Amino acid sequence: MSVEEQLHSRHIEALQVEERRFPPPPEFVAQANAKPEVYEEANGDYEAFWAARARELEWSKPFTRVLEWNEPFARWFADGELNISVNCLDRHVRAGRGERVAYYFEGEPGDRRAVTYNELLLEVCRFANALRAQGIKRGDRVAIYLPMIVELPVAMLACTRIGAAHSVIFGGFSPDAIVDRVTDSGCIALITADFGWRRGKTVPLKENCDAAMERMPDVKCCIVVKRTGDPVNMEPGRDVWWHELIEGQPATCEPEPVDAENLLFILYTSGTTAKPKGIKHTTGGYLTGAATTHKYVFDVKDDDVYWCTADIGWVTGHSYIVYGPLCNGTTGVLYEGTPDHPDKDRFWEIVERYKVTILYTAPTAIRTFMKWGTEYPGKHDLSSLRLLGSVGEPINPEAWMWYRDVIGGGRCPIVDTWWQTETGMIMITPLPGVTTTLPGSATQPFPGVFPDVVDEAGQTVPPGGGGYIVIRKPWPAMLRGIWGDDERYKETYWSKFPHMYLAGDGCRRDKDGNYWFMGRIDDVMNVSGHRISTTEVESALVSHPAVAEAAVVGRSDAMTGQAISAFVLLKGAQVGSEPLALELRAHVGVKLGKFTSPKYLTFTSELPKTRSGKIMRRLLRDISEGRTLGDTTTLADSSIVAELQSRAREEAQKEE
């Protein structure tokens, strides 16, 4: 390798330039929860900063110790005791806010209910008593495999009420995935539903659980919510209906105080290529991080209606549908279905119906809305919105601008947030009353969070360069390890760079200290010695007016090491052609440099995505290389794979 190539290999090249700036509107600044001084407070004494936020919670035994750091294991507020369900429910009811709506529930078929904090507390207490009656106690683990219905947060909070830990399994997972997660975590009970709804069809949740329980002998109890009422198998002595179980249970339930480091939940990462990792989160630090970030990042007020569109089966739903919002006494929306059922304006219909003020959704959803066109949001009054949020993959600037202009009417600040299952809370984000935002940038670290961007040698990358995002100090909501595998935890997150948490994402930091995320390190391509982020090439493609969405992977190449292979979705009724492919290649070259132009470009009607909306680039790499495909069970639509394989073969033959 030449000296020049060695230099290239040390850091990821940052090619994208974004000059647009959007300072917070003065009227937003005047009422914002976060003021500029919050950064000074956190930088001055960050442990004291987090301790002050933790003391905003209700503790049955106040803590005296803040942080105990035995690298890489943290203990926050460890000698304090609290109960999460008390913080999320009881204290609001005692304060006279029991009639406030906790959730507006919207079922996919159109059934609706408003659940107040009084009602939610009642349901949680009855179900917590029912769990105790089933012999479930503090320290046990309970698996939850439910659709996005009210019983899902009720089940989670009921577990916290009695000191049991929960492991929520996304309702789109297969029986094999259920077996892996339940067996690894040692859950003794499973909570599910007869069926769920997806695009007007029923999903056989109980049937999936039946298939899984044949291989899970330690599950002694399966509690079933009657969602559709269609018949299912009920095994005597093991299976019991939720509604029958809670019948006659007392409406009050004494909460179990637990220490701050008590296990709250285990949440498994997707695990598409290896054994899923059971990420452990504990009670006091996690709740402090989730509630504080929710308050400041989303600027929540008493009269807000807040909607995070994620599924509770993922960490976004844990932190920003259940624990953060309920701890802050927020009114939220809980929607069971998909954005396109019965039509592509369902989200905007919901925003209009409940007068949603804060919307938090994913870039992949925004790009899908772009593909569908402006006519669908244009049918509805979205003037209630005052703040927009983005979570998931990095958002490309054109999607950011579309979100701002079409959904936010050009008036709503956007908080583009970066964080992970492992971090438990938002780590890098604008504060909407403080931060000048830039399309595509997550901007600044949250107060009390200390990231850095380093090269392959662990040295800080100068402004403008790209590298690995790391965190240099522990934070309250951080993972406490991987369930049953401390060595894997150390190896995965702490072995590459001494004394730094490795997030696994590529990032660059500009001269003003703004962070720009560049996708997973695994998604960096090495083309003729240049380390190029897939995210930057994707953003360049999407900036072309014909393109709705794009996914890019590296493909082995005898001349350049890797060549860039792009999969492109077009807007509306546009059709791919050779002239358009040449135009797109040239467009990328102009935006980023000729060496970034895709060698292979495949037009497609859809991309392979998980049911949470993440693009499965691993499958695209396999398709591009012509390899046998790995696991496809988590795909939302597996039929797209054959189409992509056929088109990729055609493109390869053209190049040859």
pLDDT over threshold 60, residue 633: no
Q: Are residues 489 and 537 in the same domain?
A: no
Q: Are residues 187 and 330 in the same domain?
A: yes
Q: Are residues 497 and 543 in the same domain?
A: no
Q: Are residues 129 and 50 in the same domain?
A: yes
49 contacts: CB under 8 Å, gap ≥ 6: 41, 42, 447, 448
The pLDDT of residue 629 is 65
- For the chain, the C-alpha Rg in angstroms (whole number) is 24
Q: Are residues 499 and 524 in the same domain?
A: no
The pLDDT of residue 215 is 95
Boundary of a domain, candidates 472, 506, 540: 506
pLDDT over threshold 60, residue 151: yes
Q: Are residues 147 and 279 in the same domain?
A: yes
pLDDT band at 641 (very low <50, low <70, confident <90, very high): confident
Question: What percent of the chain is modeled with pLDDT above 70?
Answer: 92
pTM: 0.85
CA distance 524 to 221: 45
pLDDT band at 340 (very low <50, low <70, confident <90, very high): very high
Domain of 613: which CATH number? 3.30.300.30
CA distance 624 to 534: 14
337 contacts: CB under 8 Å, gap ≥ 6: 106, 107, 108, 148, 197, 198, 199, 346
Sign of the dihedral defined by the CA atoms of residues 86, 88, 91, 96, in that order = negative
**Residues 470-479 pLDDT 10s:** 999 999 999 9
Q: Does 143 fall in a domain? A: yes
CB atoms within 10 A of CB 282: 28
- Kindly compute the dihedral angle of the four CA atoms of residues 457, 460, 462, 464, in this order, to the nearest 10 degrees: 90
Determine the average pLDDT of the residues in 39-49: 97
Check: CB of residue 478 under 8 Å from CB of residue 422: yes
Residue 331 structure tokens: 């009114």
CA distance 494 to 502: 6
The pLDDT of residue 276 is 79
**Residues 608-621 pLDDT 10s:** 877 667 788 878 88
CA distances from 62 to 51, 74, 94, 260 (A): 11, 19, 20, 10
pLDDT band at 656 (very low <50, low <70, confident <90, very high): low
> Which residue range(s) make up the domain with 621?
520-655
CA distance 479 to 487: 14
Q: Does 642 fall in a domain? A: yes
Determine the average pLDDT of the residues in 164-169: 97
CA distance 614 to 620: 12
Residue 336 structure tokens: 């069971």
CA distance 406 to 403: 6
pLDDT band at 7 (very low <50, low <70, confident <90, very high): very low
pLDDT over threshold 60, residue 655: no
Mean pLDDT across the chain, nearest whole number? 91
pLDDT over threshold 70, residue 273: no
Q: Are residues 478 and 556 in the same domain?
A: no
CB atoms within 10 A of CB 376: 19
Check: CB of residue 569 under 8 Å from CB of residue 608: no
pLDDT band at 8 (very low <50, low <70, confident <90, very high): very low
**Residues 56-98 pLDDT 10s:** 999 999 999 999 999 999 999 999 999 999 999 999 999 999 9
The pLDDT of residue 119 is 98
Domain count, the chain: 2
The runs of H, that is alpha helices, within 458-577 are: 486-494, 534-542
655 contacts: CB under 8 Å, gap ≥ 6: 599, 600
Determine the average pLDDT of the residues in 260-281: 83
Find the range with the poorest average confidence among 191-205, 323-337, 480-494, 567-581.
567-581
pLDDT over threshold 80, residue 628: no
Determine the average pLDDT of the residues in 508-537: 81
Boundary of a domain, candidates 449, 471, 506: 506
**Residues 89-146 pLDDT 10s:** 999 999 999 999 999 999 999 999 999 999 999 999 999 999 999 999 999 999 999 9
Q: Are residues 524 and 489 in the same domain?
A: no
pLDDT over threshold 60, residue 166: yes
Boundary of a domain, candidates 475, 506, 537: 506
CA distance 328 to 396: 31
pLDDT band at 431 (very low <50, low <70, confident <90, very high): very high
Q: Are residues 150 and 42 in the same domain?
A: yes
Is the omega angle on the peptide bond into residue 439 within 30 degrees of 0, that is, cis? no
pLDDT band at 351 (very low <50, low <70, confident <90, very high): very high
Check: CB of residue 185 under 8 Å from CB of residue 259: no
Q: Does 584 fall in a domain? A: yes
Q: Are residues 224 and 327 in the same domain?
A: yes
Q: Give residue for tokens 């999969």.
A: 567
CA distance 624 to 367: 23
The pLDDT of residue 237 is 94
Q: Does 595 fall in a domain? A: yes
Determine the average pLDDT of the residues in 595-616: 82
Facing residues of 533 across strands?
Answer: 524
Domain of 244: which CATH number? 3.40.50.12780
The pLDDT of residue 123 is 98
Q: Are residues 237 and 301 in the same domain?
A: yes
Determine the average pLDDT of the residues in 187-211: 96
Q: Are residues 499 and 528 in the same domain?
A: no
